[in-house]
């Protein structure tokens, strides 16, 4: 498929560019290795670059995770890169990897470019206050880690409607006392692309449980919130929320 002026291809064969992994094999090192190869290709003025399924050979990083991170970095290169680069070839080693990468990479790129446009994207996040603490979800997709419930606002939705829908989908909670807290718009807050999020505060009604859009869920006591490692800029968001409450 073609993204702007760059053809994206996925093939099975020998890895032409071996990944350089610095440190443990995890989301951050896989993303950095992929981004580095693409950045070098853009900077050097080549017409074509071949990259591998980063992380899968060295540390057994999940194929689906590698595919989604690769798709995100390919999208970034196609969207932001300048120069003559006209072809990105993703090289995988097995039939299983080929099937997974074709489904995940092409599916992701089509969804973003055809359904969502080029951004910035409007999102919401919700600080759901329970008696014992704040509801935190574990993300299913990269960027991995703990995060506030939230997601993209659908076409035709208000921010408030989107926040209530995402809270229900990810935590099975209804919301009361929904209020806007702050909007965060730093272009680097989301490693995938530029998102602008409006953070809401609310009271949760019901018993929280992880929905289909979340891998896990827990209610974290206020005193323990700053100790977690979060996706996106949610550590900053939670810190500013706690400060607003004098904590």
Q: pTM, whole model, 2 decimals?
A: 0.75
**CA 43 vs CA 50, 83, 132, 181, 225: distances in Å:** 15, 8, 51, 40, 41
CATH of the domain at 17: 3.40.220.10
Q: In terms of residue numbers, what domain contains 207?
A: 121-244
Q: Using alpha carbons only, give the angle 14, 19, 24 rounded to the nearest 5 degrees.
A: 135
Mapped onto helix, strand or coil, the DSSP state of residue 25 is: coil
> What's the burial of 123, exposed, middle or buried (CB within 10 Å: 0-12/13-18/19+)?
buried
Is the torsion defined by CA of 147, 149, 155, 158 positive or negative?
A: negative
Q: Are residues 135 and 226 in the same domain?
A: yes
**pLDDT, tens only, 44-87:** 999 999 998 887 765 678 999 999 999 999 999 988 778 899 99
Residues in the chain: 247
In this structure, are 158 and 74 located in the same domain? no
- In the 8-state DSSP scheme, what is residue 230? B
Q: State the pLDDT at residue 59.
A: 62
Asked if residue 82 and residue 162 are part of one domain, the reply reads: no
Among 32, 67, 35, 211, which Cα is nearest to 142's?
A: 67
How far is residue 105's CA from residue 88's CA, in Å, rounded to a whole number? 12
| Res 40 pLDDT > 70 | yes
pLDDT of residue 169: 94
Last residue of a domain, one of 116, 146, 173: 116
| Domain identity same for 131 and 227 | yes
With 70 as the cut, is the pLDDT of residue 22 above it? no
Q: Within 10 A of 152 (CB to CB), how many other CB atoms are there?
A: 15
| Domain end call among 99, 116, 133 | 116
The CATH number linked to 144 is: 3.90.79.10
User: Which CA distances in Å does 146 have to 28, 198, 200?
Assistant: 15, 18, 17
Q: What is the pLDDT of residues 159-218, one digit of tens each?
A: 999 999 999 999 999 999 999 999 999 999 999 999 999 999 999 999 999 887 778 999
Q: Do 130 and 82 share a structural domain?
A: no
Residues 48 and 147 in one domain: no
H-helix or E-strand spanning residue 181: strand 174-184
User: How many domains is the chain partitioned into structurally?
Assistant: 2
């Amino acid at each position: 498929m073609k993204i702007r002026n760059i053809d994206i291809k996925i093939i099975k064969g020998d890895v032409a560019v071996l990944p350089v992994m610095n440190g443990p094999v995890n989301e951050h090192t896989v993303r950095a290795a992929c981004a580095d190869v693409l950045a070098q290709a853009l900077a050097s003025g080549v017409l074509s670059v071949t990259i591998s399924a980063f992380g899968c050979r060295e540390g057994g990083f999940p194929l689906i995770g590698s595919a989604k991170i690769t798709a995100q970095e390919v999208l970034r290169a196609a969207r932001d890169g300048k120069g003559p680069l006209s072809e990105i070839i993703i090289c995988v080693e097995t039939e299983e990897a080929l099937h997974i990468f074709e489904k995940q990479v092409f599916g992701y790129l089509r969804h973003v470019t055809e359904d969502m446009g080029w951004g910035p994207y409007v999102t919401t996040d919700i600080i759901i206050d329970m008696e014992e603490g704040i509801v935190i979800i574990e993300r299913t997709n990269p960027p991995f880690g703990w995060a506030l419930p939230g997601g993209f606002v659908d076409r035709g939705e208000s921010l408030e409607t989107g926040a209530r829908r995402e809270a229900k989908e990810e935590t099975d909670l209804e919301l009361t006392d929904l209020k806007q807290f702050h909007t965060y718009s730093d272009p680097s807050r989301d490693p995938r692309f530029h998102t602008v999020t409006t953070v809401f505060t609310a009271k949760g009604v019901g018993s929280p449980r992880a929905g289909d859009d979340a891998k896990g869920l827990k209610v974290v006591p206020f005193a323990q919130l700053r100790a977690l490692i979060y996706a996106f800029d949610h550590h900053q968001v939670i810190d500013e929320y706690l400060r607003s409450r004098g904590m």
